[in-house]
Structure 1
Amino acid sequence: MTVIAWDGKTLAVDRMGTNGDKKFPAKKCRKTQNGDIIAWSGTLEVGITLADWWEAGRDPKTWPEAQKGEDWTRLVILMGGQVYTMEQLPVLQPVESPFHAWGSGSEFAMGAMAMGADARKAVEIASQLCPSCGFGVDAYDVEIQEDVA
């Protein structure tokens, strides 16, 4: 499983994959050629498929079949300083809260950020407390441009 945390300037993801009772290191996020950051929580192979779909132009007609069942994977996209999610449909859902977390351990990560932790630290804390997260953190920082009137 996965924990993904967003603190308003950093998107952080743990590095642990699972297969039954077996744990292994896994990359669950990547930066696209156009600079978007994509992360996923759920089945590793479906996450990779979704990331490939995103990079191939994200045509709704080619939305992966795996997303249409009960066991779907969440895609978290950091694009232009804004975070979005996609779940069972190819619909961008903007994240409006100043911080958020998804996946296993998300409650621990949310609590950590509510107490002042950044996204990296939140993933580290969730990884200490949740048996489905771990093996370190991948993180991407963004520089948010403030509107100047």
Structure 2
Amino acid sequence: MSQPIRLRVNGQTHQAELEPEMPLLYFLRNDLALNGPKYGCGVRQCGACMVLLDGKAQPSCVIPVDQAQQHDIETLESFGTPDDPHPLQRAFVEEQAAQCGYCLNGAIVCAQALLAVNPAPSDTEIREALERVLCRCGTHSRIVRAVARAARTQNAD
């Protein structure tokens, strides 16, 4: 049975009549047209659907909308724009850290969560932060280099 759900996404409050158990991912993509988070597996195994929930990377495919109500939700769309990309986005381009691009949402979101608490992570710490993100194209080493580059760039500012 639908009920009023109120969610704060990318700094804006949205209210809708939703099934409380509906996955947050569906609301983000279908109702708000935010296509950064992707549907990959639906069981928190691939990382394609990652969002920041109160600054922590979380899989939106398994979080019911009613449980997301008390949290600040950020999607990839809040990070930067094509004209003014976020340092992580810029670093991913500079390191050519994408092939198909399906994992990029999860990689960038997980990297942002890491850099928020550890501005100078080691390669091992970067790999651990990205553990929940599957890249089927095999660009893992470029992704790690991109996160390290973004960290250096942010620390130089």
Task: Please report the TM-score for the alignment, with normalisation by the length of structure 2.
Answer: 0.27
Higher fraction of helix: 2
Which structure ranks higher in relative contact order (CA pairs < 8 Å, sequence separation ≥ 6)? Answer: 1
Higher fraction of strand: 1
- Larger Rg: 1 or 2? 2
Task: Please report the TM-score for the alignment, with normalisation by the length of structure 1.
Answer: 0.28
